[in-house]
């Protein structure tokens, strides 16, 4: 079985080596980049990465700029690292389509676990042709494609996972905590704004169907199709 390849981008050589050693030990192939420009060069040159681990503070092009450019052409999962721990940075990253956000210092074992969880969930080829359909929205979990009234809609990895979770739990009021635990995994230390940011973007992308995602004030959300 071919190894999944991960691009690790950080201007600290010690940090790159630490992350690479842990990932390599788990069977991943790892490529490195020391700045934003080198990261984009590698991304465009090799084109077969399964996931990108991206530091925020870097020379030449920072992590946000790199993420923004990658998201113009790719839905590849992105984990962003930061030493600042600022909420505004985290929300900015999610607005750009970051899938996970980890603050330094972090446990390499936790990072590897997050990588594994994301790749398992994005590896749709392991599923057997699962499709969801409701109110003109169709989700092909195998091909990772969403259509609204037969028009393909481009969603980020986390937006896709969120929509799947809503549709699989149609008619059920879901608390923000439950959504975090199921879509972001139990070890994600985020808050409600993470979910609200993604819901806002998801609603905008699916247009008038966005009204199916109803806000349950003081609790969370419920996906319900108007018959």
User: What's 38-91 look like in SS3?
Assistant: HHHHHHHHHCCCCEEEEECCCCCCCHHHHHHHHHCCCCCCEEEEECCCCHHHHH
What's the CATH code of the domain at 153? 1.10.10.10
What was the pLDDT predicted at 126? 40
Q: Please list the residues that pair with 51 across neighbouring strands.
A: 6
Looking at the structure, do residues 98 and 163 belong to the same domain, yes or no? Answer: no
Give the total number of structural domains in the chain.
2
What was the pLDDT predicted at 185? 63
- Model's pTM, two decimal places? 0.59
Return the number of other C-beta atoms located less than 10 Å from residue 217's C-beta.
6
- Pick from 143, 141, 139: nearest CA to 209: 139
122, 140, 158 — which closes off a domain?
122
Per-block mean pLDDT, blocks of 10 residues, the chain (227 long): 85 91 92 92 88 89 88 85 62 69 82 83 52 89 85 88 90 87 64 82 93 91 84
């Amino acid at each position: 079985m071919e190894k999944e390849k991960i691009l690790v981008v950080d201007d600290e050589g010690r940090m790159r080596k630490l992350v690479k050693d842990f990932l390599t030990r788990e069977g991943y192939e790892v490529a490195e980049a020391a700045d934003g420009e080198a990261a984009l060069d590698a991304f465009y040159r090799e084109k077969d990465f399964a996931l990108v681990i991206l530091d925020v503070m870097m020379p030449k092009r920072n992590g946000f700029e790199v993420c923004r450019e990658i998201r113009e052409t790719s839905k590849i999962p992105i984990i962003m690292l930061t030493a600042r721990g600022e909420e505004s940075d985290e929300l900015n990253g999610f607005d750009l389509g970051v899938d996970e956000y980890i603050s330094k210092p972090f446990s390499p074992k936790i990072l590897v676990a997050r990588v594994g969880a994301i790749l398992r969930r994005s590896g749709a080829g392991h599923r057997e042709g699962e499709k969801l359909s409701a109110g003109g929205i169709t989700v092909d979990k195998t091909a990772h494609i969403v259509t609204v009234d037969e028009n393909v809609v481009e969603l980020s990895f986390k937006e896709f996972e969120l929509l799947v979770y809503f549709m699989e739990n149609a008619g059920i009021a879901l608390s923000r905590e439950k959504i975090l635990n199921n879509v972001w995994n139990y070890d994600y230390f985020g808050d409600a704004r993470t979910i609200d940011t993604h819901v806002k973007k998801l609603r905008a992308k699916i247009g008038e169907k966005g009204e199916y995602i109803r806000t349950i004030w003081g609790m969370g959300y419920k996906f319900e199709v108007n018959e």
